[in-house]
C-alpha cells in the first residue's frame, strides 16, 4: 500500500493564485522530504530538500520566495506555489526518507500532484 500520500492529486487554478500541496508519510517518520518537479517528457528535477524543523535547502534556480516549503512535523511537508503562472504548470512529486522497515536508503515517492495554471 501507499506509504506517502499527496493532496491534491490534481489542481487547476487561475494565474496569480497560490496553491498548497501536502505530502504525508503514512507509516513512518520522514526526517527528510524532497520536492521534485517534472515537465512533460523530462525527468524529475529536485527543487528542494527539507528536514523536519529546519529551513528547506533549495536547488540552484529555484526561487525560495515563490516555492514555500514547510516541514513542520515528521509526517507532513507542504509546498506552496505562490502567485502561480502558466509556466509553473507541472507534475510536482514529493518523496520521503526515514527509517521504515529498518531501511533508510530508499526514498518513497508520493503519487504526485498535477498543477495546471490557466
**Interaction of residue 49 with other proteins, rule CB under 8 A:** yes
H-assigned helices in 1-118: none
**Interaction of residue 58 with other proteins, rule CB under 8 A:** no
Report, in Å, the least distance between residue 41 CB and other proteins: 9
Q: 85, 32, 31: which is closest to 63 by C-alpha?
A: 85
**Interaction of residue 82 with other proteins, rule CB under 8 A:** no
Round to whole Å and give the CA distance between 114 and 9: 6
**Interaction of residue 112 with other proteins, rule CB under 8 A:** yes
**Interaction of residue 42 with other proteins, rule CB under 8 A:** yes
Round to whole Å and give the CA distance between 92 and 89: 9
DSSP bridge partners of 38: 91
Give the range of 19-27, 39-47, 60-68, 69-77 binding other proteins by CB under 8 A. Answer: 39-47
Give the range of 15-23, 61-69, 72-80, 107-115 binding other proteins by CB under 8 A. Answer: 107-115
Round to whole Å and give the CA distance between 57 and 66: 14
Whether the CB-CB separation of 19 and 115 falls below 8 Å is answered with yes
Which spans of this chain sit near other proteins (rule: CB under 8 A)? 32, 34, 36, 42-46, 49, 91, 93, 97, 105-107, 109-112, 114
Amino acid at each position: 500500500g501507499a506509504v506517502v500520500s499527496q493532496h491534491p492529486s490534481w489542481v487547476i487554478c487561475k494565474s496569480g493564485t497560490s496553491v498548497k500541496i501536502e505530502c504525508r508519510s503514512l507509516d513512518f517518520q520522514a526526517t527528510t522530504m524532497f520536492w521534485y518537479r517534472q515537465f512533460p517528457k523530462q525527468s524529475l528535477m529536485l527543487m528542494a530538500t527539507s528536514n523536519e524543523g529546519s529551513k528547506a535547502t533549495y536547488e540552484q534556480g529555484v526561487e525560495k520566495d515563490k516555492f514555500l516549503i514547510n516541514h513542520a512535523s515528521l509526517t507532513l511537508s507542504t509546498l506552496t506555489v505562490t502567485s502561480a503562472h502558466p509556466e509553473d504548470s507541472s507534475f510536482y512529486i514529493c518523496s520521503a526518507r526515514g527509517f521504515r522497515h529498518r531501511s533508510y536508503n530508499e526514498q518513497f515517492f508520493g503519487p504526485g500532484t498535477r498543477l495546471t495554471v490557466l
